[in-house]
Amino acid sequence: MTRIKVSPNNKTKELNQILEISGENILNCMQCGKCSASCPIGSDMDILPHQVVRLLQIGSIEKILNSSSIWNCASCFTCGARCPRNVDISKLMEGIRLTIIRKKGKSELKVDDIPMKIDEKIPQQAIVSGFRKYNK
């Protein structure tokens, strides 16, 4: 196993934008896996929540941006509730989605922009996330 040092040198423009949007400190994650174990959508993800954080830590953004996991996340906050270090991966996932949308030069998400990778049996993240945002 090769060790990869988590350092500010690994940061990219996209990573900085994701961290700014989410407000989360990814260096707090100790990779315990409680987030992935408690995720109700985890079995349908190609990259598990704790793996997303690790990829962010090492600066491997492209793999995350091409993943269907970011669109399958239901933003249910179970991962954040179970995290012993208070890293809220739901906020990180939302930051990743917004970064993709903004990279396309848009500030909103249209139905046609959502990848066809979303499984029909998974709740649509836009509905769940919208309910969470506008329910306050």
In a domain, 4, yes or no: no
Is the pLDDT at 131 greater than 80? The verdict is no
pTM: 0.72
60-104 pLDDT, tens digit each? 888 998 888 888 888 888 999 999 999 999 999 989 988 888 877
By residue range, what is the domain housing residue 45? 11-134
11-43 pLDDT, tens digit each? 688 899 899 999 999 999 999 999 999 998 888
In a domain, 2, yes or no: no
Residue 105, Ramachandran bin (φ over 0: left; ψ between -120 and 50: alpha; else beta): left
Provide the CATH number for the domain around residue 89.
1.10.1060
Is the model more confident about 134 or about 15?
15
Q: Domain total for the chain? A: 1
Listed range (46-55, 93-102, 111-120) with the worst mean pLDDT: 111-120
In a domain, 3, yes or no: no
98 within 8 A of 59, measured Cβ to Cβ: no
Kindly state the tokens that stand for 37.
Answer: 């174990």
